[in-house]
Amino acid sequence: MKLFVGLGNPGVKYAQNRHNIGFMAVERIASDHGFSPWRAKFQGQTSEGRLGSEKVILLKPDTFMNLSGQSVGEAMRFHKLTPQDVVVFHDELDLAPSKCRLKTGGGHAGHNGLRSIHQHIGEAYDRVRLGIGHPGHKDRVAGYVLSDFAKAEQVWLDDMMRGISDGAGALAEGDGPKFLNAVALRVAPPRSGTGTAQASKSKNKPEKLVKNEPTVEEDTRSPMEKLVDRFR
């Protein structure tokens, strides 16, 4: 059994915030894979279903971000899970928007949700780091993560959510590379061979040899000299 945890803040006010991208990820998995309706449990909202051969519990803590670990710890203890059974989806300032990376263990890098989870279950759990970019200065971080995604970001955001849903089964089975590949295929699908392949062919094609033309010397004679030469 796996516990997939999406981090965010509860309530309509925060629903479209960048900080809530973890909630968005598990909501998309639940919707696309026919999971049970969400219900209140473990100081949060849970939904259950299967991804391939794995039973998976989805969890959205209702404790607000800074106390996420309370909800995660309660769910983990109830189901007798270890930290290795837990996968946390969270926003990542240090990754460019639309980038997705996997990490096991390590520090929390100042993320309040991860800091709380560290305090309750330790650090040996898996994280799906979802890039939202950085506002450029640390003083702007709080306002940035608690603001909604811009309209211009909706395309890549939807592609990322589709990719996460596509690869959810592989993630549940522990196949990280396959999961990341599913996300990449949605966010940055390969181009058709008409452009890149042709450019590559052209680049590797031997240059056409140009035959040397005979050189023609410049005529420096004066008009009078030319006339004299004609009658020689």
118 is catalytic: no
φ/ψ of residue 37, rounded to 5: -60, 150
The torsion region of residue 110 among left (phi > 0), alpha (psi -120 to 50) and beta comes to: left
Task: Give the C-alpha separation, 63 to 46, whole Å.
Answer: 13
Task: Give the C-alpha separation, 157 to 174, whole Å.
Answer: 24
User: Distances in Å between the alpha carbon of 142 and those of 58, 112, 133, 135, 138?
Assistant: 26, 11, 13, 10, 8
Active-site residue among 19, 79, 90, 108?
Answer: 19
Strand order in 100-104's β-sheet?
Answer: 39-41, 44-51, 54-61, 2-6, 86-92, 126-131, 100-104
The alpha carbon torsion through 160, 163, 164, 165 (nearest 10 deg) reads: 130
Catalytic residue list: 19
